Structure 1
Amino acid sequence: MDPLPSGDDLYVAPDGSEDSPGTLDAPTTLYKAVTLVRPGQTIYLRGGEYLYVPTVEIAFGNDGTAEQMKRVFAYPGEKPVLEFKDQYYKKGDPASPRGVELHGSYWHMKGIEIANAGDNGIFISGHHNVIEHCVFHNNRDSGLQLGGRLGELDTPVEEWPSYNKVINCDSYNNFDPPDGGDADGFAPKLNVGAGNEFHGCRAWNNSDDGWDMFNRNGKPLKPVLLDQCWAFDNGYQEGGYMSTPPPVPYMGNGNGFKMGGGSSLASDHVITRSVAFGNKVRGFDENNNVGNITVKNCTGWLNGSMNFAFGEGGYHTFINNISHRRKSGDEPVGTLTSNAFEGATDADFLSFDRALAKAPRNPDGSLPATDFLRLAPTSQFVDAGSTEGPAFPYSGAAPDLGAFEVE
């Protein structure tokens, strides 16, 4: 349970002052609060729009502890928006600023919206951080990126960001002008250490990919875990390629989950109970990853080419997955157990109403429970799965296929 606001905490408001002490009656700015907060203390952001220009930087060495994290929370019942629309931007210019840079460790951020940054909405290079129930949109690079503090080439592997958790977050409409070739929803790429996880997150209408786990420079990423994540309509402007009239596609790749790239490096990522649909090109894509990616209980539907693209080079593990309606035949190269890459019909599903994927989250931040892409009780794929691989609760005699278990 989250702590309740108290007099020992710090308070920030859109009209807060650098000269104020950060009390409820005299709030300060977020820039100042992150330099004052102690381990175990919470910074509460009051609701409203924060028109910020400089990056909010949580410096290297500004750390909480495992027992007493430093917290940046929305004030209960209120919605703070960090608005960076006045930041400088020029494609390829490293001077384009990010919204938030989190170089510290053991921080917990919750309930915050970050929009229109000149680069990433938030960039994380620290360790053991939790980003929860946050929203990143209309930023001019990826909404959230994990990467090396000293840059792609100069950060030692032992300093790559590790053991960070991103929980119940949304990232959408991120676009890097003029062509949109780099902005992803979530980008754990280039320099990513061990133990990073995404749970219950959604990425849509990003100009490049929903998730991008691109490898480069001969150093493979450490395995990333994704569970119960949704990637849809990436590579297209808002509306997706099924809208009428269809929008002009972005120049980005347009994959849902891109789990490799750059060179033939091995990263044994794990993706479970996740959904990819309506993306410009591929739903689930190994992108030259020659490791052993585990794909379990995932659903691919109506992506622009393949729903599952795992060709020669790697040897991957597929358990309990469903593919339905794609433009090109799938390539699941590896060990296959209880999958349906062929044979699914519309009658196997309750709904194809794609608007339901953007339904509001539950009050606790969890994903909405709708009929979209859920199996009909009469589906041939109910109780047709295997218990091999990562274990999840299930009803009936055996697990179902696909991302959603029939209750």
Structure 2
Amino acid sequence: MTTKTTQCNLILACFMLWQISCFAFTDITVNNASQFNTAVSSASAGDNIYVRGGHYSFNTVVSINNSGTSSNLISILPHPDNTSRPVFDFSSMIEHSSNRAISLQGSYWHIKGIDIFGAGDNGMHIRGHNNLIEYCTFSECSDSGLQIDNGGSFNTILNCDSYNNADSSIENADGFACKLTAGTGNKFIGCRAWNNLDDGWDGYLRGIDNITTTYENCWAINNGYLKDGTAGGGDGNGFKTGGSDDKDLKHHAVFKNCIAAGNIVDGFDHNSNRGTITMYNCGAYQNGRNINFSSSNIAEKLEIKNTISYDGNSNDSFRATTLIIENNSWQNGLTTNANDFESLDINSLLANRKTDGSLPDVQFFKLVAGSDLIDAGVDVGISFNGSAPDIGPFETAALSINDFVFENGVANYPNPFSEETQIVFNLKQEANLNVAIYSLTGAKLMEFKENKYNSGKNTLTLKRHSLASGNYLLTISGPNNLSTSKLITVN
């Protein structure tokens, strides 16, 4: 068995900072919209705002202008005792470009577990930096559910859903948008966008150039359709990688393990993007055109590897100044048909998320035993099993996150520790894993070499060495799993 650890997965762990706590910080519980607004405006670095479940009615924009720090985020979290999710209802707003639900101008915030509904414009508009938006939903807003703009950079949108967004002109609302004057380094991980009037993701630029956005394990489904299933007047793409008024701007895009299915026009769309587009282990199914990069206003570079394009309604187009198209489902004599897959049910991609917010386990596009797409890919730095990567967004015979369990729910003991600590975890099957320690700013400080661990109980000894007193992130990752935990050192 061969496996490579995905750098992007490890970087993701560095954004899971909600686990870090400090005794001097303030915990605030809110029960209504007024209390929420007060708590947000007065919060400082390290504070936690806990939101009770239930319905919250807002009629004005929630503006967040203050900031946390790289080591101490300000967090908005669902209350631990909640039996229902907090629903933030902005439907009393009229449709207007100034009527966003949440305007996040601050930096170093962590916002988790809130359903945002009915905004007069964006459900959330981000112009700050280094924010983490996790396990939130954005629906029935009058513009893009979540938009990054005005220089917003290095934000991570994790395990969020955006759907049924539509404006009255029946033309403009996307699921997610990192566009116009957005900054660089933004990431979407484990997100879904469906039944949005315009695009699932829109990367159109105006006034900014040469930025990079990353998409990992994201699904774009049935975009271009309205909530009632009828076709709208928008563009109807799954992932619109870029584009600009003068058709000259570069929006570099990196797609890993992403799926575009059932979108009216293109699954993965060029739209005059002049940048570099990379697609590794992606999948496109039953879009108007699964992959469309045209010879007009040609891209600088297009690299597609280990990707499935199946049953699109028009022929795909692959054009760029530099073109690298290798080991995909239509190459090397491979024959791709319905018999390669456990399921082609697009609607299954809309199943409920797991309780931790991660994507549901689905059979869609998973390869059946004996498919010639298994082990037919090329190593692109994404974890794999067998002699080579599979083609498509899912790797067969991989350890799932549900097969990886910390001993008694604790990653390491003792914690805090002064000299050494024991990392203890259980595996349902043998697996290659990587164990690493990160600073809160994302720097890798220590790492165990990637190793094969046996099924059952495994124990590692971590010596402190040169780690200063403070908070760190312990990450354990493998082909299809990632677990993180706080690690605290003391003198």
TM interval, short-chain normalised? 0.7 to 0.9
Work out the CA distance in 2 between the residues paired with 1:291 and 1:85.
Answer: 38
Work out the CA distance in 1 between the residues paired with 2:137 and 2:366.
Answer: 25
Matched, 1:67 2:71: yes
Aligned pair count reads 366
Secondary structure of the corresponding residue to residue 194 of structure 1? coil
Deviation at 1:94, TM superposition (A): 3.3
Report the TM-score, using the length of structure 1 for normalisation: 0.87
Gaps of 5+ in 1: 19-28, 149-159, 240-246
Secondary structure of the corresponding residue to residue 307 of structure 1? strand
Work out the CA distance in 2 between the residues paired with 1:195 and 1:355.
Answer: 31
Structure 1 or 2, whichever has the larger Rg, is 2
Deviation at 1:371, TM superposition (A): 0.5
1:384 counterpart residue number: 376
1:12 counterpart residue number: 30
1:358 counterpart residue number: 350
Deviation at 1:4, TM superposition (A): 8.6
Matched, 1:88 2:88: no
Deviation at 1:215, TM superposition (A): 1.6
Residue among 42, 47, 51 paired with 1:45: 51
1:139 counterpart residue number: 141
Q: What letter is aligned with 1:177?
A: S
Secondary structure of the corresponding residue to residue 223 of structure 1? strand
Contact 1:171 1:202 in 2 (8 A): yes
Kindly report structure 1 stretches of 4+ aligned residues shifted beyond 6 Å.
Answer: 3-7
Deviation at 1:353, TM superposition (A): 1.7
Secondary structure of the corresponding residue to residue 348 of structure 2? helix
Residues 260-269 or 4-13, more deviating: 4-13
Identity of aligned residues (%): 40
Work out the CA distance in 1 between the residues paired with 2:204 and 2:75.
Answer: 30
Deviation at 1:238, TM superposition (A): 3.5
1:23 counterpart residue number: none
Matched, 1:299 2:264: no
Write out aligned runs for 1:159-238 (5 A): 160-179=151-170, 181-217=171-207, 219-220=208-209, 222-238=211-227
Work out the CA distance in 1 between the residues paired with 2:20 and 2:36.
Answer: 19
Quick one: higher RCO (CA 8 Å, sep 6+), 1 or 2?
Answer: 2
Secondary structure of the corresponding residue to residue 252 of structure 1? coil
Q: What letter is aligned with 1:185?
A: G
Report the TM-score, using the length of structure 2 for normalisation: 0.72
Matched, 1:286 2:286: no
Contact 2:192 2:219 in 1 (8 A): yes
Work out the CA distance in 2 between the residues paired with 1:249 and 1:165.
Answer: 31
Q: What letter is aligned with 2:109?
A: W
Work out the CA distance in 1 between the residues paired with 2:94 and 2:274.
Answer: 39
Work out the CA distance in 2 between the residues paired with 1:319 and 1:71.
Answer: 38
Deviation at 1:347, TM superposition (A): 0.6
Residues 174-219 of structure 1 show CA distances to partners (whole Å, capped at 9, x for unaligned) of 000132x1100000000121211010000000000000000224x3
Deviation at 1:35, TM superposition (A): 1.4
Contact 1:57 1:101 in 2 (8 A): yes
The 1:317/1:208 distance shift into structure 2, 3 A limit, reads: same
Work out the CA distance in 1 between the residues paired with 2:173 and 2:211.
Answer: 22
2:418 counterpart residue number: none
Contact 2:210 2:275 in 1 (8 A): no
Secondary structure of the corresponding residue to residue 365 of structure 2? coil
Contact 1:141 1:175 in 2 (8 A): yes
Aligned-residue RMSD, C-alpha = 1.7
Gaps of 5+ in 2: 1-17, 398-491
Work out the CA distance in 2 between the residues paired with 1:238 and 1:350.
Answer: 28
Residues 241-270 of structure 1 show CA distances to partners (whole Å, capped at 9, x for unaligned) of xxxxxx431000000000011213222210
Work out the CA distance in 1 between the residues paired with 2:201 and 2:210.
Answer: 14
The 1:170/1:8 distance shift into structure 2, 3 A limit, reads: same
